[in-house]
């Protein structure tokens, strides 16, 4: 046990009582808490290295968006992670900062040191240890009993130093259910305040993911003393769907990354989960306390700083989400943007609807753009410009200059013809 004076011991006990109240409050509340792991799991993506200053900028943007906690790094793994965490202390005030640790005392000590200076209720550790047969036999060479002991001991060690202790059985989705429940029970008994369910290799489907969480809620006797967090990888393109299904089973915390960046096929995308919850409150009844108007700029910031660009069709943040070239859609959007959009650009802080002029455009969009450029043509003139667009080589972008030039040619033709 760590040495504490009488006042220190009293304060610590009071803090633990408050902690239990907070857990009870979160479990009863409908709110889905977002735990962002862009700066840790996201940064693990090959090619996505972030400097400490970049991490701070992203952390500030995540704080502004309303994220509840930040998986800020893995102090035992690198000096740069410690540096990044220290830069956040005193600057990032609202989200809880957590540090990743193996079930090793040295890792927990490194986290304790890295998080020095952050108030007790705003600092935590996130412990992980493989539990699946594959991890037990091939990675750790440990029996089930040895794993249970290791988890209980390291969680207890962490709980003496941190009020917030998350424990995740790595490769949970390929772990025997009975053993998984046993590990959760032991971790909670040892002082874990959150238990994670990581689908480490992204193998689950929504129905199976939901079933797992229901089983955990029903078969871990002390589950009411901890929050349930889910962490999905996107190897089957199902990370967001799996996350949403688990929310229906009472998952309290969703772990996500911005733009879904992360190992292999990445993680559940924060902006997609937040928008699905926001647009379908009738289905989930679980509000996301995320300021959605911050999402599109957040997506662009992460793309810029990680160098992992957004595909044009990436939900929420992609360049094409509010752009269309199709004539019928353009006509509809001009009459009322809701005709062809699930939500307005301003709801995610995007720039606005963009009508792309190209071969698939219709008369109305071309006339609209020409009008915006101050070029007034009659119906025949607009039609002639549209015909001219269709004759251009397919890789030719129709920018405003091209459009002006085509309009001029049409007018000239009319005069000379
Ligand atoms: Mn992961």
**How far away, in angstroms, is 263 Cα from ligand 1 center?**
7
**How far away, in angstroms, is 398 Cα from ligand 1 center?**
42
**How far away, in angstroms, is 185 Cα from ligand 1 center?**
22
Return d(Cα 210, Cα 67) in angstroms, integer: 23
Q: What is the mean pLDDT of residues 322-326?
A: 90
Q: What is the pLDDT of residue 238?
A: 98
Residues 212-243: tens digit of each pLDDT: 999 999 999 999 999 999 999 999 999 999 99
- Look over the chain and give the mean of its residue pLDDT values, rounded to a whole number: 94
**How far away, in angstroms, is 222 Cα from ligand 1 center?**
25
Residues 127-185: tens digit of each pLDDT: 999 999 999 999 999 999 999 999 999 999 999 999 999 999 999 999 999 999 999 99
pLDDT of 3 strictly over 70: no
pLDDT of 253 strictly over 60: yes
**How far away, in angstroms, is 138 Cα from ligand 1 center?**
19
**How far away, in angstroms, is 42 Cα from ligand 1 center?**
8
Let me know: does 205 contact 231? Beta carbons within 8 Å. no
Q: What is the pLDDT of residue 340?
A: 92
Q: What is the mean pLDDT of residues 82-110?
A: 97
**How far away, in angstroms, is 26 Cα from ligand 1 center?**
24
Q: CA separation (Å) from 200 to 96, 173, 232, 314, 334?
A: 23, 7, 7, 23, 45
Q: What is the mean pLDDT of residues 91-103?
A: 98
**How far away, in angstroms, is 136 Cα from ligand 1 center?**
18
pLDDT of 4 strictly over 80: no
pLDDT of 334 strictly over 60: yes
Go through the chain and tell me how many residues it has: 417
Residues 53-66: tens digit of each pLDDT: 999 999 999 999 99
pLDDT of 414 strictly over 80: no
Q: Where are the beta strands (DSSP E) in 11-68?
A: 33-36
Q: Which residue has the higher pLDDT, 17 or 295?
A: 295
Categorize the per-residue pLDDT at 51 as very low, low, confident or very high, splitting at 50, 70 and 90.
very high
Q: Phi, psi at residue 45, to the nearest 5°?
A: -65, 130
Alpha helices in 191-326 (DSSP H): 206-219, 239-248, 270-279, 281-284, 295-306
Q: Phi, psi at residue 128, to the nearest 5°?
A: -140, 150
Q: Of 204, 242, 252, 305, give the one whose Cα is nearest residue 23.
A: 252
Return d(Cα 281, Cα 293) in angstroms, integer: 17
Q: What is the pLDDT of residue 355?
A: 87
pLDDT of 304 strictly over 80: yes
Categorize the per-residue pLDDT at 2 as very low, low, confident or very high, splitting at 50, 70 and 90.
low
Q: Of 220, 208, 218, give the one whose Cα is nearest residue 169.
A: 220
Let me know: does 259 contact 271? Beta carbons within 8 Å. yes
Q: What is the mean pLDDT of residues 2-6?
A: 69
**How far away, in angstroms, is 192 Cα from ligand 1 center?**
19
**How far away, in angstroms, is 257 Cα from ligand 1 center?**
10
**How far away, in angstroms, is 44 Cα from ligand 1 center?**
9
pLDDT of 1 strictly over 60: no
**How far away, in angstroms, is 18 Cα from ligand 1 center?**
30
CA 65 to chain centre: 11
Q: What is the pLDDT of residue 411?
A: 81
Q: What is the pLDDT of residue 417?
A: 61
Q: What is the pLDDT of residue 64?
A: 98
For the chain, give the longest Cα–Cα distance. 99
**How far away, in angstroms, is 209 Cα from ligand 1 center?**
15
**Which residues neighbour ligand 1 (ion) by CB within 5 Å?**
41
Contacts of 361 (CB under 8 A, 6+ apart): 325, 326, 327, 330, 355, 386, 389
Which residues sit opposite 164 in a β-bridge? 124
**How far away, in angstroms, is 156 Cα from ligand 1 center?**
23
């Amino acid at each position: 046990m760590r040495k504490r004076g009488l006042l220190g011991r009293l304060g610590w006990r009071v803090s633990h009582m408050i902690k239990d109240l907070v857990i009870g409050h979160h479990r009863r509340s409908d709110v889905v808490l977002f735990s962002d792991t862009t700066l840790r799991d996201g940064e693990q993506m090959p090619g996505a290295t972030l400097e400490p200053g970049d991490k701070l900028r992203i952390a500030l943007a995540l704080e502004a968006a309303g994220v509840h906690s930040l998986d800020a790094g893995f102090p035992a793994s690198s000096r740069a992670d410690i540096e990044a965490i220290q830069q956040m202390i005193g600057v990032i005030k609202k989200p809880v900062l957590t540090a990743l640790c193996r079930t090793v005392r040295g890792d927990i000590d490194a986290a304790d040191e890295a998080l020095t200076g952050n108030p007790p209720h705003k600092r935590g550790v996130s412990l992980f240890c493989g539990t699946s047969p594959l991890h037990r036999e091939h990675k750790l060479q440990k029996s089930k009993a040895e794993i249970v002991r290791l988890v209980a001991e390291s969680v207890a060690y962490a709980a003496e130093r941190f009020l917030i202790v998350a424990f995740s059985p790595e490769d949970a989705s390929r772990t025997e259910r009975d053993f998984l429940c046993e590990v959760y029970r032991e971790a909670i008994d040892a002082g874990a305040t959150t238990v994670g369910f990581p689908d480490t290799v992204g193998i689950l489907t929504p129905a199976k993911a939901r079933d797992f969480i229901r089983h955990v809620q029903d078969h871990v006797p002390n589950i009411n003393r901890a929050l349930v967090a889910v962490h999905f990888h996107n190897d089957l393109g199902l990370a967001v769907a799996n996350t949403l299904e688990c929310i229906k089973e009472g998952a309290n915390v969703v772990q996500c990354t911005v733009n879904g960046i992360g190992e292999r096929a990445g993680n559940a995308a924060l902006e997609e989960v937040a928008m699905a919850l926001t647009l379908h409150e009738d289905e989930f009844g679980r509000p996301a306390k995320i300021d959605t108007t911050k999402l599109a700029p957040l997506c662009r910031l992460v793309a810029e700083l990680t160098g992992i660009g957004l595909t044009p069709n990436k939900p929420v943040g992609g360049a094409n989400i509010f752009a269309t070239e199709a004539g019928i859609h353009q006509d509809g959007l001009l009459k009322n943007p809701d005709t062809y959009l699930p939500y307005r650009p301003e709801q995610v802080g995007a720039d606005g609807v963009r009508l792309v002029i190209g071969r698939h455009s219709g008369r109305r969009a071309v006339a609209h753009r020409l009008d915006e450029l101050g070029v007034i043509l009659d119906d025949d003139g607009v039609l002639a410009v549209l015909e001219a667009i269709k004759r251009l080589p397919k890789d030719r972008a129709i920018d405003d200059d091209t459009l002006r030039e085509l309009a001029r040619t049409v007018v000239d033709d009319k005069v000379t013809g």
